[in-house]
A and B are shown apart, each in its own frame.
Chain A
Amino acid sequence: MTIARTLRVGIVGVPPLSVMQTLTAPHIKVYDLDEPQGRIDIETASPFLPQVYCGILRTVMANSLIIRPDVIYIDIGPGKCDCAVHTATVLEDTLPKTRIIRTRNQDSTDFGTPLCTTRMDLLKKMQAITASVQSTTPYHSLQPCKAVAGFWGVPPRDFSLLSLFPDTTHVYGWARCMENKTPDNLKLELHYNPDIPTVFFAQSFCAKTALARHLATKHPHALYLDCDVTAGNSAKAKIQAFLELSGI
């Protein structure tokens, strides 16, 4: 009897569904390298990526250096970003024993966004959305709720800022594209609800800061917010005050 060795696979961004379907075997352990994994210090990435760089990709680099996956699928298509293109090169040169596989996810089949619109603690909701990347089966339907607030943007590096929102917050932006398994869906990413106070969030040093700020200008009742690695007191105070002063 032979026991299959566990294959450790890292994913960056949202790889195509066809890739994720190959990663469901029991001997494969998948690491979402975009998210902090345990207590890995983000400064681990500093010798390889500039400190003034997207906090998510610095996290990817730090995780990869410590976990040293056998394979990394890194999406470098329009559903991710140019920073990922260059991070893939750095990873390839830094981790010669890790196979770096570049993908360009342009899946266009809508999987649905039941999590984005249901009533749930926003932090848990975002965790469920990011976990949904690894699911390849159709989603269970969830009862949608009436939204009182909106969160537009990417899953933040520091999820703690999400704990300030009410449970009836709907999620928009790239996080919604993520749940829908269509990360390159600009039409969906541009969607927001003008009738509810909305925080437009982007990671500092991310190209999406331009879109977040632009949409916040168009939205009649919005707050633009960007944060780097951790959400400081001022960022949290802004969210709290915005929601309070909006009557939430």
Chain B
Amino acid sequence: MLLADFGTSYSKILDTSSTNGPQLIASRDLDRNLQVDIGTGHNGKRHCRHYVNELTALARGGISLIDAESFTLLDCGSRDIKYVAYSEGKIEDMGWNAECGASMGFTIELLEKYYDLDFRTIEVPATSFSVTCGVLGMSHIFDAVVSGSSEAEAVAKFVKGIAINAYNFAKRPQRIYLSGGLCDNPLFVSAFPCPVVPLGRFVLLDGLKASCEQLGLQ
């Protein structure tokens, strides 16, 4: 059975009949005719026979991966951010900023390539930019560089601003379980004002597995 999370920049595909783990493919390189059994994600509806709402997939993934009755799970994608909050095993709150989560992952990746940065070597700055959206945030970077900041320092303030935005969006929980490609960005993960447990970029695939069980799909 083929499961897939069709994200804006990257698609994650899992063949449950294979012992190989999930495949990560740039969404622009996807076979336009690809059809999977069950899918989710921004680009999912046209590629799958059964579509699962992204928030539902995220929540079910969280339930299967997190050993706690109460948690906040935040997914930071290329284009959007979304979260689900559970309290004592029941859904308590959720949010999805689909149009402009500062186009978070996409903008961060763009800056990493443009300035040729290695986020593993950049320290979390003491201060951050107020990032209301990716485009306005980039203006802060350009202004800071013009004023003498290093490119790495300016981008780090931008990344921290985005992490604080995401934290506020998720209603400032005591601990955040993080999903999505930004789990692999140590600067972003460390920039949150609360403890962060990175779960990786395949959480929605775990949610799809749980959905398969609920729907009786084999």
> A-side interface residues toward B, CB under 8 Å?
221, 223, 232-234, 237-238, 240-242, 244-246
Complex Cα spacing A39 to B99, Å: 25
The minimal Cβ–Cβ distance linking B76 to chain A, given in whole angstroms, is: 15
Contact between chains at B93 and A241 (CB < 8 Å): no
Answer yes or no: B106 CB below 8 A from chain A CBs: no
The listed residue (A232, A238, A242, A244) touching B99 by CB distance below 8 A is A232
The listed residue (A232, A238, A240, A244) touching B95 by CB distance below 8 A is A238
Given contacts A234-B98, A234-B99, A237-B53, contact A223 B59 (CB under 8 A): no
Complex Cα spacing A195 to B132, Å: 38
Complex Cα spacing A244 to B82, Å: 17
Known pairs A233-B98, A234-B97, A241-B54. 15 more at Cβ < 8 A? A221-B90, A232-B98, A232-B99, A234-B80, A234-B96, A234-B99, A237-B53, A238-B55, A240-B53, A240-B55, A241-B53, A241-B94, A242-B91, A244-B53, A245-B55
The contact sample of 20 A-B pairs, CB cut-off 8 A, is: A221-B91, A223-B93, A234-B80, A234-B82, A234-B96, A237-B53, A237-B55, A237-B98, A238-B55, A240-B53, A240-B56, A241-B53, A241-B54, A241-B55, A241-B59, A241-B84, A241-B94, A242-B91, A244-B53, A246-B91
Q: Which of A232, A240, A244 has the most CB of B within 10 A?
A: A244
Contacts of A234 in B (CB 8 A): 80, 82, 96-99
Nearest chain A residue, comparing its CB with the CB of B92: A221
Nearest chain B residue, comparing its CB with the CB of A246: B91
The minimal Cβ–Cβ distance linking B215 to chain A, given in whole angstroms, is: 11
The minimal Cβ–Cβ distance linking B132 to chain A, given in whole angstroms, is: 15
Contact between chains at B94 and A223 (CB < 8 Å): yes
> B-side interface residues toward A, CB under 8 Å?
53-56, 59, 80, 82, 84, 90-91, 93-99
The minimal Cβ–Cβ distance linking B66 to chain A, given in whole angstroms, is: 15
Contacts of B98 in A (CB 8 A): 232-234, 237
Nearest chain B residue, comparing its CB with the CB of A221: B90
Complex Cα spacing A221 to B53, Å: 20
Contact between chains at B91 and A245 (CB < 8 Å): yes
Complex Cα spacing A240 to B56, Å: 8
Complex Cα spacing A245 to B211, Å: 11
Contacts of B84 in A (CB 8 A): 241, 245
The minimal Cβ–Cβ distance linking B7 to chain A, given in whole angstroms, is: 15
Complex Cα spacing A232 to B99, Å: 9
The minimal Cβ–Cβ distance linking A92 to chain B, given in whole angstroms, is: 36
Given contacts A244-B56, A245-B56, A245-B59, contact A238 B94 (CB under 8 A): yes
Complex Cα spacing A246 to B55, Å: 13
Complex Cα spacing A221 to B56, Å: 16
Nearest chain A residue, comparing its CB with the CB of B63: A245
Nearest chain B residue, comparing its CB with the CB of A216: B93
Complex Cα spacing A237 to B97, Å: 11
Contacts of B94 in A (CB 8 A): 223, 238, 241-242
Contact between chains at B99 and A241 (CB < 8 Å): no
Complex Cα spacing A245 to B60, Å: 9
Contacts of B82 in A (CB 8 A): 234
Complex Cα spacing A232 to B98, Å: 9
The listed residue (B91, B93, B96) touching A237 by CB distance below 8 A is B96
Contacts of B56 in A (CB 8 A): 240-241, 244-245
Nearest chain B residue, comparing its CB with the CB of A245: B91
Contacts of B91 in A (CB 8 A): 221, 242, 245-246
Contacts of A245 in B (CB 8 A): 55-56, 59, 84, 91
Complex Cα spacing A223 to B59, Å: 15
Closest 5 CB pairs of A and B: A241-B55, A234-B98, A234-B96, A245-B91, A241-B56
The minimal Cβ–Cβ distance linking B112 to chain A, given in whole angstroms, is: 27
Q: Which of B54, B55, B99 has the most CB of A within 10 A?
A: B55
The minimal Cβ–Cβ distance linking A6 to chain B, given in whole angstroms, is: 43
Contacts of A242 in B (CB 8 A): 91, 94
The minimal Cβ–Cβ distance linking B133 to chain A, given in whole angstroms, is: 16
The minimal Cβ–Cβ distance linking A133 to chain B, given in whole angstroms, is: 33
Complex Cα spacing A221 to B94, Å: 12
